[in-house]
Chain A
């Protein structure tokens, strides 16, 4: 449904996208993951037909983005990052206008607007002026706009940006509800958001795609597992326990927590690494208080992919 090939975008001398490739199958929900400035919004804007690529090809719903831009725009629902809306319009009036602009005619408009209002739970606020709505509600109006003409493809750029935790959860639930009914491409730098709403992720860093895999594959990804320990005993003994362990690497220094020490570690084989560590700790006379996974699977994988794992560990 979405096919991106060798996509470049230059702004003067600055190269925002350096030949990215990825595809999204029909009905799939894919996250575009990356830090701020990685090139996510540029990619989304190109896919939405707002800016043209410098080179490369993009096909959406079978249409080429440069030469059939209007046909592409007819097949997408786009939520820009900043959700720019016309504040002086009422919610229903705005959706009515947008539905007509997106090609709905006469009798099709009213049911489409009702459906979109229902989907985003804004029926009670239909008469509200957009400028009087909270950021969370405005985000929902933006989503209703993206959905009003039932497009096969949804492009959502940072849909939960700037929202409070409760609003974030609402929007996340809404996006989850769209899975399967639409092809969804969501960009975000908030990892739990991608983890809960998407089947797959495309990781973008510095204008390049550094990974494209299912969320599970990404979480397992790389050759390193991380975990965290809390031990009781002298620091010297803890350091001795780790000396000579080629398969165990500490990520930063041990942090004192009362009389205990907390330490993050990395290993090539989680089961073997943990067993080995426990044996060494016992041999050094240390008490193991806690042993748990560290720094969430996807976060860990993401940091590895963008080369920030060392920073995260320190």
Chain B
């Protein structure tokens, strides 16, 4: 546990001290702010509508953001050789994998800061009817979807040595996951497959959050799949040593 904390702190420090992080955060804040206020205007100043209106954009943003945040995690260390330094320290493979994952998750969550800030400003200065519950559920909805997206990204980064390939594989993996939900459109409504695909439809999970709801079944599914992906990532890291 102690090593996990040391390694996670190092991952966070590496992200928060990099120019790339702030450039990305600035870009995301600017673009999401634009969409958020456009939706706010269209909704006649209704914050609930603004969040629902801009959630589609956030969803696509998360699909792109997760691979960008995870692509460097193993691929960069492998390419620069620092993985040799890291793995010859007295740490377990799972500690390294989990620390990188937790670091990416925390960094990902900070990209929601502009939304919270916008709500705070509206609540404090414009006496806006802010629905903190809806905002929290939306953040949780996106974060639980991000659990899997980041795990896919981390696994891709462990598999390849080139960051760009890692990002591409992660994006394709995330798209494949999203496509599972789209397959639902081809099924007969109410059928067993239709229901099953409904459970794994990450787009629906986000919609649940945006509606201000928390569905524990969805959270449990996301967490289980994430743990499985992280387990595979640890195995990939181990297997790559034996090759």
Contacts and interface: CB of A to CB of B under 8 A. Distances in A.
Interface of A: 11, 45, 48-52, 70-71, 73-74, 76, 78, 80, 82, 84-86, 88, 97-98, 100-103, 145
**Ordered nearest first, which 5 A-B pairs have the shortest CB separation?**
A84-B81, A84-B82, A74-B90, A73-B90, A48-B88
A187 to B, nearest CB: 14
Give the one of A48, A85, A86, A88 with max B CB within 10 A. A86
A86 B14 CA distance: 9
Contacts of A78: 88
Contact of A98 (B84, B87, B89): B89
Contact of B80 (A52, A74, A84, A98): A84
B17 interface: yes
Contacts of B3: 101
Contacts of A85: 82, 85
A51 B88 CA distance: 9
Contact of A73 (B6, B82, B88): B88
Contact of B18 (A50, A88, A100, A101): A88
A50 B87 contact: yes
Given A51-B242, A84-B81, A97-B10, 5 more contacts: A49-B87, A80-B85, A82-B81, A85-B85, A98-B89
Nearest to A12: B243
9 contacts: A11-B243, A48-B84, A49-B88, A50-B84, A71-B90, A80-B81, A84-B80, A102-B89, A102-B90
Contacts of A100: 6
Interface string B129-166: 00000000000000000000000000000000000000
B85 A145 contact: yes
B220 interface: no
A101 B6 contact: yes
Interface of B: 3, 6-7, 10, 14, 17-18, 80-85, 87-92, 241-243
A134 to B, nearest CB: 18
Contact of B14 (A70, A84, A88, A103): A88
A50 B93 CA distance: 11
Contact of A51 (B17, B90, B92, B241): B241
A84 B90 contact: no
A54 to B, nearest CB: 9
A101 B91 contact: yes
Contacts of B83: 84
Give the one of A52, A73, A101 with max B CB within 10 A. A101
Nearest to B77: A84
Contacts of A84: 80-85
Give the one of B14, B90, B92 with max A CB within 10 A. B90
B242 A52 contact: yes
A211 to B, nearest CB: 28
A107 to B, nearest CB: 15
Contacts of A70: 90-92
B85 A88 contact: no
Give the one of B3, B82, B85, B242 with max A CB within 10 A. B85
Nearest to A69: B90
A293 to B, nearest CB: 41
Contacts of A52: 241-242
Nearest to A51: B241
A45 B10 CA distance: 24
Nearest to A101: B89
A215 B91 CA distance: 37
A80 B84 contact: yes
Nearest to B19: A88
A98 B3 CA distance: 11
A142 to B, nearest CB: 8
A183 B149 CA distance: 46
A200 B82 CA distance: 30
Nearest to B79: A84
A73 B96 CA distance: 15
A185 B243 CA distance: 25
A97 B241 contact: no
Contacts of B81: 80, 82, 84
Contacts of A71: 90
